[in-house]
Structure 1
């Protein structure tokens, strides 16, 4: 589906209607303004129009759902829990809503990226495999047939995890020098670098050095994470060339990636795999570190495993 053909008025109108379903969930660090509407995202409108002209299901790719944070003060374990369940249902419901106004419907390919940088975030590959397998099982058992999972096993098969990471890095990753220059000159890249550094500091458990030493080490690892993330994004583009790229990171209005918020959280960077879910007294859900959630509510289990917290009355 070439994206160079000028969209006709019908596909343009339908593209705007579809994008309007996503706009309430746009994840951005920018201040909300009333002038932001579907026309503020011309790149996504062109992509959606291409699917409409082909009368084909709209395909979105979403890198994320990598693995749980290794910090036990933030999560309930290394397997998906209620945060992931709610997020998957939300994504499937978006596709279902699109199907109501566009009969060919939509689907989202979750590009699980844990193995891409598992060594940099200090999560064992066995835990990443278990997380990804459980993610696929949740999608199947919950009947979320508009979702699928794509990871390095789909690309490089039975190679060792180290060999897979090396292959992706060597083929796609930008140099550290290139990224350092971007951090100095590009506000969005600087915010991403700072956000990842903060997460790495928070996720590190059992560090025996000083706080300043940990921060120095995490700044180095942050560049590695961005390198691998860029590499993974380019690999996804090769395998899903026409898909519309979603992102769990905040994105500027009109960027080629559309940032999407999976669940309510007080921080634009919070994700289900860096936190635990808390059901408030009014029945709504939010995400926060498990240690903070434990102070507000009691632990609930599902299928014999910790699932989420229920706020105390």
Structure 2
């Protein structure tokens, strides 16, 4: 039975209050470029309150979906390799801790479905499909090894099985992607879409380790690819909605207060757009963690290996 048609199992006032308490646990980690004078409360997020309330009224675990964890950047100046490392380990533990915190105030608890989207646009970000498979497989292994049983990974293999990767991408694009013309119009008229377009373009430029042409030619090429990435990202979001229609939608991109998607910051970083798969983790001398390009972290500390692979940097005292 869909949560939208589930019978009410508790008074609406109680479910609304409990839903607000659940959302309060997410608010300190909201990823946004907004800078309100007063931090917004749960009432400023009606979409998420409504979705959480549906789970609470049904007495069901709150399900959240998080598109992301696609693959490592192909630029070796930003990351330590093509497999998950300490940045991902810390992020997974953080997500599991959120689910545990929800479970302490709401016994059915919560679970987060990580919707790994690397294959959706691997060709556009110039990452080989075998690296994307290896990255997603290692994510699952890290979750299992750490006993993070409130987390799971969902990717195109769960939807389209063993079809060739190019065929999977074509299927998703043809069925779900908006047209380039529609996106261009939206970029011209919508500030949030423009910010997303610029952010993705910047990442594509930074992630291109080798380019034969000029800087301006690279920027033009990345602007074109950015539209493709947004198309595929929108398509992936619609596919997720088909498979997890009742879930609370999280986003690794900054989102304005009150948006239908809730932007969530996984780890501290100086830039609201930085993610573990575009950077390396640095443990500061005081024990706190931050994310930055590996080339910037290297002069600050020494490289630490785990399981025979580069993991993170430790800052020198």
TM bin (shorter chain): over 0.9
1:75 CA drift (Å): 0.1
Task: Quote the Cα distance in structure 1 between the aligned partners of 2:37 and 2:275.
Answer: 24
1:292 CA drift (Å): 0.2
TM-score norm. by structure 2 comes to: 0.97
2:6 and 2:58 in contact (8 A); partners too: no
Task: Quote the Cα distance in structure 2 between the aligned partners of 1:24 and 1:158.
Answer: 40
Residues 180-219 of structure 1 aligned to structure 2 (within 5 Å): 180-219=184-223
Structure 1 ranges of 4+ moved more than 4 A: 3-7
Match of 1:79 among 80, 83, 89: 83
Task: Quote the Cα distance in structure 2 between the aligned partners of 1:32 and 1:129.
Answer: 40
- Is structure 2 residue 117 aligned with structure 1 residue 113? yes
- 1:99 is matched with 103
1:259 CA drift (Å): 0.2
1:35 CA drift (Å): 5.0
- 2:70 is matched with 66
SS at match of 1:111: strand
SS at match of 1:2: helix
1:4 CA drift (Å): 10
- Deviation string 1:206-229 (CA, Å, 9 cap, x unpaired) is 101000000000000000000000
- 2:4 is matched with 2
TM-score norm. by structure 1 comes to: 0.99
Match of 2:245 among 241, 245, 248: 241
- Deviation string 1:224-282 (CA, Å, 9 cap, x unpaired) is 00000000000000000100000000000000000000000000000000000000000
Q: What are the ranges of 5 or more consecutive residues in structure 1 without an aligned counterpart?
A: none
Task: Quote the Cα distance in structure 1 between the aligned partners of 2:247 and 2:217.
Answer: 41
Task: Quote the Cα distance in structure 2 between the aligned partners of 1:91 and 1:183.
Answer: 31
Task: Quote the Cα distance in structure 2 between the aligned partners of 1:4 and 1:144.
Answer: 29
Task: Quote the Cα distance in structure 2 between the aligned partners of 1:175 and 1:37.
Answer: 36
- Deviation string 1:176-228 (CA, Å, 9 cap, x unpaired) is 00000000000000000000000000000110100000000000000000000
Q: 1:35 to 1:140 in 2, by over 3 A?
A: closer
Q: What are the ranges of 5 or more consecutive residues in structure 2 without an aligned counterpart?
A: none
Task: Quote the Cα distance in structure 1 between the aligned partners of 2:68 and 2:77.
Answer: 21
1:34 CA drift (Å): 1.4
Task: Quote the Cα distance in structure 1 between the aligned partners of 2:108 and 2:28.
Answer: 22
